[in-house]
Every structure is written in structure tokens, then in C-alpha cells.
Chain A
Amino acid sequence: MYTTSNITSTGNCYTPILATDLFLSPLSQEPTPKHFYETMRSFIISWYGNWCGTLLVASCLAWQSGVVATAYSSFDEKPPVFDTVAEMKAAMTGTGTWCSDGKFANSNACFLIKSTVMRLNMDWDVAVTRGIACNFLVSTALWLAQLSQEQISKIFSIWICIVMFISSGFEHIVVNQLLCSLGMMIGAKDYGGVTWGDMMGNNFIPVSFGNFIGAAVLAMIMYGCYHRELPEYIAKQKEIHTVKGGDVAIAMDDKAGKA
């Protein structure tokens, strides 16, 4: 049933996108300024809310509880592992030292510091491109999860997409909010000379921008392909194509009727 609908609508994909039918199609709802305001409000509040949540994890659950060792940090109240920054740099750049000592006990902190420095020295084009690829896959995960009806199907759908984007090395803004904040707390700012401004300017802003583009690309493709099969659209088409003064409805888009 849904296979037929998939095939017919996939064949119809390119026309609405190329003909800018996305912006001109007669849908049932008129735009209002309220929609734009609600969208911006949701983006801003959820962005900061997500950062607050990840900062809670980074500061209370990871850094203060001591599960991630503090290498060297000038604002850390606890005694750092290294006495000086030069000592930390020497221990982290050499072989067989702090990063691999004690059966790799501190290699998680080493990983966090080095990956934070790498992320905060990233060029804008790289960050935006990685953000686009990342959120295209995250949005696909959400789409597949919504497509499934059982929880185990949703779990597997999410898992495959997330493994794809993280293992490939793409950038997700909320994951970066945790990793970069935690990396800065435990010593990346001393190790790599990066600042909190770098974190915002070189990573968070371009990655957020790329994430939005990735989601918008998937949204445009899916909406372009399937909006003709929405009940609202079909009802609107029926209303438009009904001849006034009679009950005869002319043949409407037959592909839309197969949904």
C-alpha cells in the first residue's frame, strides 16, 4: 500500500522542487507573522536550553564529580594533574605518557582536550559542511523514528543514523556543546590556547548554521515529494476543481488520490 504511494510520489519529486511549487502551491493555510516568531522563539530557547543541559552535565556530573580528570585548568579549584602548562603539553604530546598511562585511564580527558582544540580551530566552511551532513542524518533518524510504530523499530532507526554521522566525524551542535565545554573546563584552553569566544565563533555558530541547512534540505525534499498527498492539499484541490453551480468535480491530480 505505502510502497505504491512511495513509488508514485518519488516519480513526482522533481517537478514541485524545480517549479518552486513549494512556495506557490495552493495550501490550505495562510501564513502569518506569528509562525515566523514562533519558529525563531523555538530555535533560540531550545538552543540555549540544550546548552544549559549540557553545561549541567559537563560541570556537575563530569567535571565536579571527577569522572573526567582535570589536566590543567586555571579556574579549577581542585589541584590539577600537572603543575604547569608546559608540563601538561610535554606529557600530552610525548609518546607513552599521560594519554596512555595506567591502562589508558586518562585517555578520555586527553581525547576531550585534543578534540576540543581541533574543533575550535576549525574553518567555517569545514564546520558548516560537517554540520549540514550531520543534521541531514539526524533529521533522517527522526523521520525514520516517526515512520516506525514500534519502539524497537524506532530505536534501530535512530541508532543506524546516529552511528553513521558520529563515526564519520560530522558535527552536531548539542554534542559539541558538551564536548567543547567539558574540554575547555579540563584544560583545552591552556593546552591549545583557545578561548570561549573561539568556541562560539569558530564552532557553535557555523555548526548551528550548517545543522539548520541540513534539516532544511531534508525538509524541502520530503515536503516537495509528499505535500501533494497531504489530506489538506487534497481537500483544497477538490475545492478548487469543483465547478461552481454543479456538483461535478473534474479529475484532480490522480497521484494525490492514491495516498
Chain B
Amino acid sequence: MSGIQPGSVSMSLSRRAQFTNPEVLEQFIAGAKKKAQYGHLKLFFLSVLGGLFLGLGALMSSQVGGRWGGTTGQNNLMFGGFGIPFGLMMIVFTGAELVTGNYLMFAILMLHVRVISQIPPTVYRPVRDCLSALLVMYVVVYTTKSK
């Protein structure tokens, strides 16, 4: 303990292991606003980088998981356990763009700026009713049809 400099103990104690959920929400909103400022080319090339990372990960998955395993279960575990997670880790750490990550961040931003309240009711209500009807049709009629 003698090697610890004054102040470092309190600093390490005050450092938390993780953020809170509201802080993460705030970070996502700020991140989406920052991404919205990107130029077309920057967005495109960061997306290509994301595609390269996840593509290389999926290629490793198919090279290893595609050959491995005597059963489908082992094969699935090898396919999902190595390769694709590495690609997503690279994307998260390098700040590359992934379309599914953008879905989350911009959905949060849309909720935050209340974009749905902007849609006029003449457009919003028919679409909502049509989707609700389709959902009911699908759940009640299609999934319960007799063979």
C-alpha cells in the first residue's frame, strides 16, 4: 500500500464498475445526434468498415463452425461462439457503423424527439389501423388455421 500515491485511493474508490441505465440512455441519444452530423461519405466508409469487420467474423464462423461438430448443436455453438462476436467487438471498439446498431440508436432518438407526434393523424391513423388489423388477422386467423 505504500506505493499508492495520495489521492489515488479515493479515485479508485469513486470509480464505478458500470454506468447506470439512464446514463446509457443519455449516451445513446448523444451518440445518435453525433452520428446524424456525419457526412455521407464518412457514414458510408464507416459502414463499409463495419461490413468488413462483421463479414470477416462471419467468414471465420463459416470456416470454423461450418466444418466443426458432429451434431447440429455443437455446430451452432462453434458457429456463433467464435467469429461473429469478434466482428461486433471490433465494430464497437473502433466506432464503425452497423445498420442494426443504428436501428437502436435512432429509434431512441426518434422517441426522444417525439417524431411520431409530427405525423399528421390522417396518415398515422390509417396506417396504425391497417397494421393492427393485419396483426389480428395473422395471430387469430393464420396461426390457428386447421391443417
Binding site for B on A (CB under 8 A): 1-2, 5-6, 9, 22-25, 27, 29-33, 35-36, 38-39, 41-43, 45-58, 61-62, 67-68, 104-105, 107-112, 125, 135, 138-139, 141-143, 145-151, 153-155, 158-159, 162-169, 172-175, 177-179, 182, 208, 211-212, 214-216, 218-220, 222-223, 225-227, 229-231, 259
Contacts and interface: CB of A to CB of B under 8 A. Distances in A.
Contacts of B43: 41-42, 45-46, 49
Contacts of B47: 45-50, 52-53
A172 B99 CA distance: 10
Given A30-B113, A54-B54, A154 B79 contact: no
A35 B115 contact: yes
Nearest to A10: B21
B20 A259 contact: yes
A167 B62 contact: no
Given A219-B107, A222-B108, A38 B97 contact: no
Contacts of B109: 35, 39
Given A2-B18, A139-B103, A162-B88, A179 B48 contact: no
A50 B54 contact: yes
B99 A174 contact: yes
26 contacts: A2-B21, A39-B36, A42-B36, A46-B99, A48-B44, A53-B49, A54-B58, A107-B67, A111-B62, A135-B103, A143-B24, A143-B104, A146-B27, A167-B79, A167-B81, A168-B76, A173-B100, A174-B50, A174-B100, A178-B58, A182-B59, A219-B107, A222-B108, A223-B111, A227-B112, A229-B20
Contacts of B55: 53-54, 56-58, 61, 174, 177-178
A125 B21 CA distance: 32
A230 B26 contact: yes
Secondary structure type dominating chain B contacts = helix
B25 A223 contact: yes
B19 A146 contact: yes
A250 to B, nearest CB: 23
B57 to A, nearest CB: 8
Interface residues of B, number: 74
A179 B60 CA distance: 11
Contact of A142 (B54, B66, B92, B118): B92
Contacts of A218: 104
B114 A49 contact: no
B100 to A, nearest CB: 5
B103 A43 contact: yes
B29 to A, nearest CB: 8
Contacts of A167: 76-77, 79-81
B89 to A, nearest CB: 5
A57 B24 CA distance: 33
A236 to B, nearest CB: 12
B101 interface: yes
Q: Which 5 A-B pairs have the closest CB atoms?
A: A53-B51, A49-B47, A166-B80, A57-B55, A108-B66
Nearest to A140: B104
Contacts of B111: 22-23, 219-220, 223, 227
A212 to B, nearest CB: 5
Nearest to A136: B104
A207 B98 CA distance: 15
B100 A149 contact: no
